[in-house]
Structure 1
């Protein structure tokens, strides 16, 4: 379920608010925040903060039995036929369900002709509209973004139309990798934190720059990890959208633990910086072993953020949603970042987290700037390797996402040994 990036039952470090997690700040603040959020959203607390997600839960429970109807079935479709390419029939056997939700179902399948394993996302399609996820995925191609192989439509006996997105199969998620360490009462090795978050930022730098897409649901469950190569791929573009300045968007988007504060404030003209906030939450979760802001509701989510960042100033509220600058509630001091993480945490990690988790969207660094942060310098060392001695997955094959980047930023992004290896043309290719 949404907001489920938990850390295996660990207690969160005390943030100096009386308890390690949950709601504490007092009834007065809770009532103030609750009333304020109801004003922001324009709906009742039951509807906004419970009803919507209870409705999703019902949909998900209805989908639980869907795996029985999918597993073992063979789906055949015809591909090709364009640009002189011959048509050919390709068949997939569904092997197991790997995900369900209000969107539909994702299952692992095997191509009977080639033996290749793929992931197929099956979603109910409204015949009146195009599928936004399909349109966006067709426009994207990047090492850190899930690849769409092809798609096809299928129907049921009730004349329901389903879109089937056939994608490359990646066996693990960042959520499950983190859960493995949490269950073993271990911290994720810092080299993996750097490797995974860096690649996530690389994928975001691409989608934010080239197709201009905002993912709007960055969370550990939507970050795929190849356990052999440790290559990371951002997946699930079901909530993604090209954000057009001046065009309103829904604010009730993004899973709760990773939801940017401007969304809680009801902003409808937000930017791709909501993905940056979400990634900051993911970074903190990998460093802590559990979510930084584990809100139990939309109200509690804001309380958890305030316990760390303090009460937003009037200017910060204006930056998030200018319609609510006059609202007043109790003043809470920010908690020092270095006290949130353990004493041996590298200062570069703390600095990066603080740059990502800012109230003001414009003050958060971009995905490309984040890639150049000193926290990731270890990845740029000439002899850097995985702990098992194998090479890293490709990290510096930048291309389109460098368009408009300053020479100084490009110099920081691409290590000297890579520049020497590829020559100056490598740098110019992205300019």
Structure 2
């Protein structure tokens, strides 16, 4: 082949390869956009970001989107190329006002050649506590078959202006599958108990005390602190918690009255709620929705309830159909009087869809109760 024709063929081949690469890149970018992936170039310079949290699973940065100037949180975690990231898979399935929203994600390289990092782009909200919304968030994720397994103050984000709480960091979360073994120890210090409800109880107790209720440098230290408050667990309680330790002999210590654990002016409703969350026997603990219906939150259901800054409380009673079906016997207690009309509409829709004669007596009871409450309000 003449040299000139050979060079022309090589140039044509290079142009074709470049065009194919450009097409592939464009297709990948389009697919990535549909898949929630975004380019890290869409963020402002690294100098504008700062670390706002870190732990054993990664680092969280505060950053700003260049096109909208929106503040976002970037959680950067080392990704094992052999496996899918479980947190990413779970976060992409969840959408709820009390769950921190996954906006985008992207992958980046590290200092080492083979390092690959997953960057989760989450909505940013300042940290604090709002227990009602935490329990509502737990009720929702549990209804989705997801256990968080790392409830602690650092994973609760709150907008101080609107008081909207978001539950974040699903790095330790897991889908609950019947018959599948679970890792029992995964939570951070002070919040080591597997149960989300127990952990939420320790968060509430810390809110009331201003310090961890069960401090300790190790699991043994924390167990001692727990026994100091709850007393020595009985053999049946140990059996319920972990049957492998039924023969272990704990020191015999009487339970400390909850009124002595908290300050004298602590609301009795708050003390009662904590006592019903921090139970040795898992089945004796309140469910998240039972906690929401507790008298401790009655002031939130008052029609004149306002935030300290005078603004209205966020929409904390806009329960979805899915949420209202979790424990329908609690709906009348969960919804304030001014929400009965909405509850009635939901129940009437269920009534129409299921036929005139309901087989579920509990649902019929709730429906009748709502109708009666609605009639009283109208008159």
User: Residues 428 and 138 (structure 1 numbering): CA distance in 2 closer, same or farther, change over 3 Å?
Assistant: farther
1:404 shift after superposition: 3.7
1:104 shift after superposition: 2.2
> Does 2:320 correspond to 1:365?
no
> Does 2:78 correspond to 1:124?
yes
The structure carrying a bigger helix percent of its residues is: 2
User: Residues 80 and 372 (structure 1 numbering): CA distance in 2 closer, same or farther, change over 3 Å?
Assistant: farther
Q: Distance in 2 between matches of 1:231 and 1:222?
A: 14
Q: Distance in 2 between matches of 1:173 and 1:287?
A: 13
Q: Distance in 1 between matches of 2:110 and 2:201?
A: 42
Q: Deviations over 1:23-71 (max 9, x none)?
A: xxxxxxxxxxxxxxxxxxxxxxxxxxxxxxxxxxxxxxxxxxxxxxxxx
Residue 325 of structure 2 is matched in structure 1 by 403
Residue 226 of structure 1 is matched in structure 2 by 159
Report SS of the residue matched to 1:172.
coil
1:256 shift after superposition: 2.1
Report SS of the residue matched to 2:89.
helix
Residue 125 of structure 2 is matched in structure 1 by 170
The answer (yes or no) to whether the contact 1:106–1:119 under 8 Å persists in 2 is yes
> Does 2:143 correspond to 1:209?
yes
Residue 104 of structure 2 is matched in structure 1 by 150
The answer (yes or no) to whether the contact 2:143–2:326 under 8 Å persists in 1 is no
Stretches of 4+ moved more than 6 A in 1? 82-85, 87-90, 428-431
2:232 to 311, 318, 325: 311
The answer (yes or no) to whether the contact 1:410–1:427 under 8 Å persists in 2 is no
User: Residues 88 and 127 (structure 1 numbering): CA distance in 2 closer, same or farther, change over 3 Å?
Assistant: closer
Q: Distance in 2 between matches of 1:359 and 1:328?
A: 16
Compare CA radii of gyration and give the structure with the larger one.
2
Q: Deviations over 1:201-226 (max 9, x none)?
A: 0111111112x111111111111111
Report SS of the residue matched to 1:304.
helix
1:197 to 114, 120, 131: 131
Report SS of the residue matched to 1:323.
helix
The answer (yes or no) to whether the contact 1:337–1:350 under 8 Å persists in 2 is yes
The alignment covers a number of residue pairs equal to 318
Q: Distance in 2 between matches of 1:228 and 1:221?
A: 19
Q: TM-score, normalised by structure 2?
A: 0.79
Q: Distance in 1 between matches of 2:110 and 2:335?
A: 51
User: Residues 221 and 384 (structure 1 numbering): CA distance in 2 closer, same or farther, change over 3 Å?
Assistant: same
Structure 2 residues without counterparts, runs of 5 or longer: 1-27, 351-362, 364-379
Q: Deviations over 1:124-180 (max 9, x none)?
A: 111110000001101111111100011111224613211111110113344xxxxxx
The answer (yes or no) to whether the contact 2:38–2:104 under 8 Å persists in 1 is no
Residue 58 of structure 2 is matched in structure 1 by 104
Q: TM-score, normalised by structure 1?
A: 0.69
Report SS of the residue matched to 2:190.
helix
Structure 1 residues without counterparts, runs of 5 or longer: 1-77, 175-195, 264-273
Report SS of the residue matched to 1:164.
strand
1:345 shift after superposition: 2.1
Report SS of the residue matched to 1:129.
coil
Residue 296 of structure 2 is matched in structure 1 by 375
The answer (yes or no) to whether the contact 2:185–2:192 under 8 Å persists in 1 is no
